[in-house]
Amino acid sequence: MRSIRCIFLDMGKVLLDFDFMRAAERMRTLTGCGPERLRSAITGGDLAVRFELGKIGKAEFRDEVCRLLGVQVPYDEFASAWNSIFLETPILPDATLAALSRRAALWVLSNTNKLHFDFIEGNYSFLRHFTGRILSFEVGAMKPDYEIFDRALQKAEVNAEEALFVDDHRPNVEAALSIGIDSFQFLSRDQFTDEMKARDLL
Closest CA to 194 of 169, 172, 166: 166
Higher pLDDT, 39 or 127: 127
pLDDT digits (tens, 9 = 90+) for 77-109: 999 999 999 999 999 999 999 999 999 999 999
What pLDDT sits at residue 2?
75
Closest CA to 134 of 104, 161, 157, 155: 155
- Work out the angle between the directed axes of helices 114-123 and 58-69 (0-180°, nearest 10): 120
Fold of the CATH domain 20-83? DNA polymerase; domain 1 (1.10.150)
CATH 1.10.150.240 residue ranges of the chain are 20-83
- Please confirm whether the linkage preceding 144 is cis (ω < 30° from 0): yes
Q: For all residues of the chain together, what is the average pLDDT?
A: 96
User: Which contacts qualify for 20-23: CB closer than 8 Å, 24 or more apart?
Assistant: 20/85, 22/84, 22/85, 23/81, 23/82, 23/83, 23/84, 23/85
Closest CA to 47 of 115, 109, 108: 115
CATH 3.40.50.1000 residue ranges of the chain are 6-16+89-198
Reduced to 3 states (helix: H, G, I; strand: E, B; else coil), residue 182 is strand
**Could you say which of 3.40.50.1000, 3.90.1150.10, 1.10.10.2160, 3.40.50.2300 is the CATH number of the domain covering 6-16+89-198?**
3.40.50.1000
Q: Which alpha helices (H) appear in 94-145, and where do they start and end?
A: 94-101, 114-123, 136-139
pLDDT digits (tens, 9 = 90+) for 18-71: 999 999 999 999 999 999 999 898 888 899 999 999 999 999 999 999 999 999
pTM higher than 0.85 = yes
88 vs 112: CA distance, rounded Å: 18
Question: What's the burial of 1, exposed, middle or buried (CB within 10 Å: 0-12/13-18/19+)?
Answer: exposed
What pLDDT sits at residue 44?
84
What pLDDT sits at residue 1?
62
Reduced to 3 states (helix: H, G, I; strand: E, B; else coil), residue 107 is strand
